[in-house]
Structure 1
Amino acid sequence: MTGPSTEDRLAIFELYARYSWALDTGDTDGYVDLFTDDCEATEESREGTLEVLKGKDDIRHLVLKFHNREGFPGHQHQMGQFVFEADPQGRPDHWLVRSYAWATINHPPEPPHLHWCGHVRDVVAKIDGRWLIRSKDIMGWAGAVLARFEKA
């Protein structure tokens, strides 16, 4: 499978740009608006616990955890190396998108520094002509993603 059309791929890239921009500029409503009504998300903590979120109210709770945190202004989230795969449930106008993810912090006059790196697994859906996030899994760069390197 070759992935989404060029037009859809560009619209999905725009979705991710808007996601990071809304997250990093405190646009809570704009962030929540990028998800489907029936969205689901998981976020893996540094300790390995998993937070499970369902629906836009939970997504709002997730982003407010960052937007309300002292010291959060100055974060910049980046995603790249996008890999498109068929939707695991075989739905039309849906794609599984895997990407690297990282966040820097910039609080001048200190130099910026890498705060976190990991990977993201999303399912995006085209709803009424607009690409949105239907599910999101945010994971650190550890564990199952590195299983091929573990010694037998």
Structure 2
Amino acid sequence: MIRPSLTALAVLLAMSAPAAAQPPADADILRETHDRVAITELMWNYVRAIDSLNEEAYPTVFTPDGSFGEAKGPAALRKMVADLKHSQAERRAKGETIPAMHHIMSNAHIEFIDRDHARYHYYWMTVFAGSPYTQPPRLAAAGRGVDEVVRLNGKWLIRSRNVAPTD
């Protein structure tokens, strides 16, 4: 009689033990790969919009409530770029040379929170181009960032940019 009780106990223990982690299904691997490519493209579109001072394209990479610092929402994000563009135009009008601006994001890591939310970790630099063969590029600023990105209506967008996280 002891043997059936031990067998029953072993069955109960096996049923209550956590299931072994299953490897991700091919469909999950494919979805995550597609998402990584889409997020990488999103960040490329972000950099091109700001470097080209395209105030119309810039807010399109953000969610409707998206933010960068104090600028929140499409109108504020558009104004942020338009103000930068205007400032550079004024400086050029005074004879100042304003070299091309390049935002460089590197060592990126995409951390998926769930299927529709991720964090984009990276190091960044803002570099102003030099003149070929006469002036080297100028590093204006550098740091680390963690952006919150979300899938909204099937498209990855930036919810918030944080270029100075405290962690």
Greater fraction of residues in helix: 2
State the Cα deviation string for residues 65-99 of structure 1 (Å, max 9, x = none). 32223255511001121223344xxx640111111
Max Rg structure: 2
Give the Cα–Cα distance (whole angstroms) in 1 for the partners of residues 164 and 83 of structure 2.
17
Q: Which moved more, 1:61-70 or 1:112-121?
A: 61-70
Show CA shifts across 1:2-21 (max 9, x none). Answer: 99711110111011111111
Gaps of 5+ in 1: 43-51, 146-152
Contact 1:24 1:73 in 2 (8 A): no
Q: Secondary structure at the match of 2:63?
A: strand
Distance in 2, matches of 1:79 and 1:67, equals: 21
How much has 1:111 moved relative to structure 2? 1.8
Deviation for aligned residue 1:138:
2.0
Relative to the length of structure 2, the TM-score reads 0.67
TM-score (norm 1): 0.73
For residues 85 and 29 of structure 1, what CA distance do their matches in structure 2 show? 29
- Equivalence for 1:13: 40
Specify whether residues 73 and 27 from structure 1 end up closer, same or farther in structure 2 by C-alpha distance, changes over 3 A only: farther
More contact order relative to length (CA 8 Å, sep ≥ 6): 1
Residues 92/64 of structure 1: CA separation in 2 closer, same or farther (3 Å cut): same
Question: How far apart in 1 are the matches of 2:99 and 2:49?
Answer: 12
Question: Is 1:119 the equivalent of 2:148?
Answer: no
| Identical columns (%) | 29
Q: In the TM superposition, what whole-angstrom CA distance separates every residue of 1:19-65 from its partner, at most 9, and x where no partner exists?
A: 111111122111111111011222xxxxxxxxx22211111122223
* Divergent runs of 4+, >6 A: none
The alignment status of 1:101 with 2:124, answered yes or no, reads yes
Determine the structure 1 residue equivalent to 2:72.
54
**Deviation digits for residues 93-151 of structure 1, max 9, x if unmatched?**
011111111011114242212111012221111112211111111228xxx45xxxxxx
